[in-house]
A and B are shown apart, each in its own frame.
Chain A
Amino acid sequence: MMAATVLAIIVQRNLFSVVVLAGVYSFLMATVLVALDAVDVAMTEASVGAGISTVLLLGALYLCGGEEAKPLSRPWLPLVVTLVIVAALVYGTLGLPAFSDPQAPIHTHVVPRYLTQALAETGVPNVVTAVLASYRGYDTLGETVVVFTAGIGVIALLRRRRRGKEDGK
Chain B
Amino acid sequence: MEAFASHYSYFVTVLLMAAGLYIMIARGNLVKKLIGLSIFQTSVYLLYIAPGKLIGGTAPIVSQAYQVYSNPLPHVLILTAIVVGIATLALGLAIVVRIREAYGSIEEDEIIAADVGHGDRE
Contacts and interface: CB of A to CB of B under 8 A. Distances in A.
B63 to A, nearest CB: 7
A15 to B, nearest CB: 6
B94 A53 contact: no
Interface residues of A, number: 89
A29 B76 CA distance: 17
A157 B90 CA distance: 11
Most buried by B among A3, A64, A72: A64
Contacts of A158: 94, 97-98
Interface string B30-54: 0110110011001001100111111
**DSSP class of B's interface residues: helix, strand, loop or mixed?**
helix
**DSSP class of A's interface residues: helix, strand, loop or mixed?**
helix
A32 B49 CA distance: 10
A115 B60 CA distance: 8
B23 A10 contact: yes
B72 A131 contact: yes
Interface string A72-108: 1001001101110110011001101111111010110
Contacts of A131: 72-73, 76
A19 B94 CA distance: 16
Contacts of B28: 68-69, 71-72
A7 B10 CA distance: 19
B45 to A, nearest CB: 7
A50 to B, nearest CB: 11
Given A79-B22, A89-B17, A131-B76, A94 B3 contact: yes
A30 to B, nearest CB: 10
A19 B73 CA distance: 31
B23 A15 contact: no
Nearest to A67: B29
Contacts of A118: 62
Interface in A141-158: 143, 146-147, 149-151, 153-154, 157-158
Nearest to B2: A98
B114 interface: no
A36 B80 contact: no
Interface of A: 2-3, 6-7, 9-10, 15, 18-19, 22, 25-26, 29, 32-33, 36-41, 44-45, 48-49, 52-53, 56-57, 59-61, 63-65, 68-69, 71-72, 75, 78-79, 81-83, 85-86, 89-90, 93-94, 96-102, 104, 106-107, 110-111, 114-115, 118-119, 125-128, 131-132, 136, 139-140, 143, 146-147, 149-151, 153-154, 157-158, 160-161, 164
Given A6-B19, A6-B39, 8 more contacts: A38-B49, A38-B52, A60-B96, A72-B109, A85-B18, A97-B51, A126-B60, A157-B97
